[in-house]
Amino acid sequence: MRPRVAGVAVALAVGGACVAQPASNAAPHFPKGTPYRSARATLTHTGYQPVPQQHRKPNYYCGVDPDEPGEPDLCSIYPEVIDCAGTGVRPCMFAFERKSDRKRLVVTTYGELTSRLMVSGTAWQPLR
């Protein structure tokens, strides 16, 4: 893994996920397809906090899906979910805050089921 940033990068393995921690202000990187639960565990162990969101009702991503018995409620398991698309591979966005400087990170995922969410990317969220 070669981060494209100046400085030294250290690979950390926590909870089975590997994340590059660049010495600069680049966002943490997870290989595409990393299970979200592993990426979330890595982020929380390296100084990031999930940022719970206010979920408007009704929406199509919170609640138990009657077509998927046994699947947990996404918003109960991951209250940091910002939004999800209602079609296709159901891409979702999740919010984190770095404790050291309160910088916001958004993790984007894909996967139709809560139990199968995979990371597709990360980016800093502009402050408003």
Residue 63 lies in a domain: yes
Q: What's the total number of domains in the chain?
A: 1
pTM of the model: 0.79
Confirm whether 17 is domain-assigned.
Answer: no
pLDDT in tens, 39-91: 999 999 999 999 999 987 777 788 877 788 888 889 999 999 999 987 778 89
14 is a domain residue = no
> Is residue 73 one of the residues assigned to a domain?
yes
Is residue 97 domain-resident? Answer: yes
State which residues form the domain around 67: 27-124
The pLDDT of residue 63: 81
- For residue 9, being part of any structural domain is answered with no
Q: How many CA atoms lie within 13 A of 11 on its CB side?
A: 9
- DSSP class of 72: P
Mean pLDDT across the stretch 29-42?
A: 97
| Inside any domain, residue 39 | yes
Q: Domain for residue 86, yes or no?
A: yes
